[in-house]
């Protein structure tokens, strides 16, 4: 069986998900940058209150897929999307949908902690002000910082610059900023790659707490991290059979199954470290 046929079969065979628990139904048919087909044929359901991990070798399209889930790629002029991403029954790529509103409900945390050059308080309040939040700002800022497990460390220095924090604290500040507007889904693109092991562990523990209230999609290069935090894992690979380098979903399932009993040969080779 060739890689393409194997991928289609394994996706179908490995896993079935209860549609009632799917918060985002992502059917990614083709994603282009200009003429380059970056990702094809990947159905990636994101389940409610679970962490869905995306793993795979460099360049297989993990970040492209993640950024397609809240229309972040729209900011790239050559980006073109075919397929649908349905959030609570609404296709976010429908012409009538405002991408800014999409990002209000589907928030994002990036690889490099990127606090704005402003106070800790203002960093968290930023999105609320943008959305013309009329409620008690202090209360919401505190709530967001508590959700990001940062409150006790910063409560006495809220006027200090966000840039004065350590890398791990900055990343938790970015998580606080993302959750302040109370989104529904959090997209996290390698949120620990710039952090040391202690800060990584703190952010991982935070992710496990956050999934009580949010549905999380997580790109990670770190397979141990996927096994520690992801409920479900999607493994992507690169198809070079047509002369290009096109990413596609090989297999998706419960994390334990993907790592301990992979259905596809490619998944088995990847999780056992035979190729990276
Ligand atoms: N803005 C862009 N313009 C053109 N091509 C891009 C752009 N962003 C990504 N690509 C290409 O799309 C493909 C997938 O990239 P992507 O960053 O999504 O992969 P990835 O699996 O997240 O990689 P990594 O693990 O190295 O971060 C790569 O071939 C990359 O060069």
Domains in the chain: ranges and CATH: 3-10+17-57+80-271 (3.40.50.300)
63 CA distance to ligand 1 middle (Å) = 7
The 3-class secondary structure across the chain, one letter per residue, is: CCHHHHHHHHHHHHCCCCHHHEEEEEEEEEEEECCEEEEEEEEEEEECCCEEEEECCCCCCHHHHHHHCCCHHHHCCCEEEEEEEEECCEECCCCCCCHHHHHHHEEEECCCCCCCCCEHHHHHHHHHHHCCCCCCHHHHHHHHHHHCCCHHHHCCCCCCEHHHCCHHHHHHHHHHHHHHCCCCEEEEECCCCCCCHHHHHHHHHHHHHHCCCCEEEEECCCHHHHHHHCCEEEEEEEECCCCCCEEEEEEEEEHHHHHHCCCCHHHHHHHCCCCC
pLDDT for the residue 273: 84
Q: Tokens 């990636």 correspond to what residue? A: 44
Q: Which of 55, 59, 75, 236 gets mutated to test ligand 1 (max ligand atoms within 8 A of its CB)? A: 59
Mean pLDDT of 211-220: 95
Mean pLDDT of 240-254: 91
Most confident of the following: 18-22, 66-70, 104-108, 189-193 = 66-70
Residue 2 has pLDDT above 60, yes or no: no
Task: Provide the 10 A C-beta neighbour count for residue 205.
Answer: 13
270 CA distance to ligand 1 middle (Å) = 19
pLDDT for the residue 276: 56
For residue 47, name the pLDDT band (cuts at 50, 70, 90). Answer: very high
Which residue owns the Cα nearest ligand 1 atom 31?
59
Which residue owns the Cα nearest ligand 1 atom 7?
33
pLDDT tens per residue, range 115-170: 999 999 999 999 999 888 999 999 999 999 998 889 999 999 999 999 999 999 99
198 CA distance to ligand 1 middle (Å) = 29
Ligand 1: lining residues by beta carbon, under 6 Å: 33, 36, 38, 56, 58-64, 76, 221, 245, 247
67 CA distance to ligand 1 middle (Å) = 11
Q: Which of 38, 80, 234 gets mutated to test ligand 1 (max ligand atoms within 8 A of its CB)? A: 38
Closest by Cα among 120, 106, 224 to 163: 120
Mean pLDDT of 173-195: 92
Which residue owns the Cα nearest ligand 1 atom 11?
38
pLDDT for the residue 8: 42
Closest by Cα among 48, 44, 53, 40 to 25: 44
CA-based angle 156:157:159, to the nearest 5?
135
195 CA distance to ligand 1 middle (Å) = 22
The model's pTM: 0.90
Question: ipTM of this predicted complex?
Answer: 0.98
Chain-wide mean pLDDT for the chain?
A: 91
Residue 7 has pLDDT above 70, yes or no: no
For residue 199, name the pLDDT band (cuts at 50, 70, 90). Answer: confident
Task: Provide the 10 A C-beta neighbour count for residue 90.
Answer: 13
Which residue owns the Cα nearest ligand 1 atom 23?
59
Which residue owns the Cα nearest ligand 1 atom 2?
33
48 CA distance to ligand 1 middle (Å) = 27
For residue 15, name the pLDDT band (cuts at 50, 70, 90). Answer: low
Residue 215 has pLDDT above 50, yes or no: yes
**Which ligand 1 atom is nearest residue 60's CA?**
21
pLDDT for the residue 10: 46
pLDDT for the residue 194: 84
């Amino acid at each position: 069986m060739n890689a393409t046929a194997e991928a289609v079969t394994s996706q179908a065979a490995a896993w079935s998900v209860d549609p009632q628990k799917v918060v985002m139904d992502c059917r990614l048919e083709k994603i282009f940058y200009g003429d380059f087909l970056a990702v094809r044929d990947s159905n990636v359901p994101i389940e409610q209150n679970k962490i869905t991990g995306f793993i795979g070798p460099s360049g297989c399209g993990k970040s492209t897929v993640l950024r397609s889930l809240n229309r972040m790629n729209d900011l790239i002029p050559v980006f073109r999307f075919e397929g649908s991403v349905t959030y609570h029954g609404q296709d976010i790529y429908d012409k009538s949908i405002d991408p800014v509103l999409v990002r209000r409900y589907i928030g994002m945390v990036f690889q490099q902690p990127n606090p704005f050059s402003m106070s800790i308080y203002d960093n968290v309040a930023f999105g609320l002000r943008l959305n013309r939040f009329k409620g008690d700002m202090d209360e919401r800022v505190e709530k967001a910082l508590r959700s990001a497990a940062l409150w006790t460390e910063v409560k006495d220095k809220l006027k200090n610059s966000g840039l004065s924090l350590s890398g791990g604290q900055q990343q938790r500040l970015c998580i606080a900023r993302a959750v302040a507007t109370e989104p529904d889904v959090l997209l996290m693109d390698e949120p620990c790659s710039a952090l040391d092991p202690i800060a990584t562990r703190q952010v991982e523990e935070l992710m496990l707490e956050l999934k009580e209230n949010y549905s999380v999609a997580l790109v990670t290069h770190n397979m141990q991290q996927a096994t520690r935090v992801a409920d479900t894992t999607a493994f992507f690979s690169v198809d070079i059979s047509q002369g290009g380098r096109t990413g596609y979903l090989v297999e998706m399932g419960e994390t334990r199954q993907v790592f301990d009993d992979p259905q596809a040969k490619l998944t088995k080779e990847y999780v056992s470290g035979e190729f990276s």
